[in-house]
Amino acid sequence: MEKDLLNILISPDDGTRLKEKGKHILIDHSGNIYNKFEGIFDLRPKKAIRDKIDIILKRQKSFSEYPYGTKLEPMFENQYETNDIKKNNLLQFIPPTFEEHEYYALDHGCGNASMLKMLESLGYNYVGADISSENFLKQKKNSEGVMFKADLHRLPFQDNTFHFCFSYSVFEHLQNPFLAAKELHRIMRPGSICFVAVANLVPFHMDSFFHFTHFGTLNLFRSVGFEVLQVAGSSWNGYEAISSMD
């Protein structure tokens, strides 16, 4: 494994830096061993995850006072040609890069890594994290991007690592979105950008646990330390949204 990549990894069990023990094995300070299969390290915890969050409840009125939108306002201009709706949505929130620096982007719940080539073309080192690696392997060809099998409630990355993170239709599938959001906040660099898309009106699917309102989305990420810049959806009224469908 490349040294720079090894430097951003930590054990999902004891939080210590991982060390190489041969070409296909990583080991932590406690002796936990993480193996590599088909070119991908499995960095899921060996032990059950136990964690807690210190949350201070916000004023109820602060949720109704927040300036929600019906669409997100673009933050950046990037040159990349695509007709893909998801890529175009994401493109306007990816911070620019400069050649003299290294930049890391995390695809949180990467699935088939559909954003891999776009992020690499924009100057990022692509890192994917997901519970399954099968779909990633199909996209890996001709790419420097890497993926780790990981539990998103306990990410195997150092604090303050990523310059950009995005999570597309992932949080509704997590047992405890607060723990996962806390982890996402921990591994992001100060001043970095995180883009999250969550299910609102989508019914139960693929073992989903949570479906978010605008209040719930704001509460989730603000509770774990994020500065929430924008929350937007085509409509937060379920009946209104359904009636407007073609």
What are 87-128's pLDDT values in tens digits?
A: 999 999 999 999 889 999 999 999 888 999 999 999 999 999
- Partners of 35 in beta bridges: 25
pLDDT value at residue 202: 75
In the sheet where 33-37 sits, what is the strand order?
19-20, 25-27, 33-37, 40-41
Per-residue pLDDT band for 139 (boundaries 50, 70, 90) equals low
pLDDT value at residue 65: 97
pLDDT value at residue 235: 55
Contact (CB, 8 A) for 241 and 219: no
User: Other CB atoms closer than 10 Å to residue 108's CB: what's the count?
Assistant: 26
In the sheet where 162-168 sits, what is the strand order?
146-149, 125-130, 104-108, 162-168, 188-197
In terms of pTM, does the model score above 0.95? no
pLDDT value at residue 111: 87
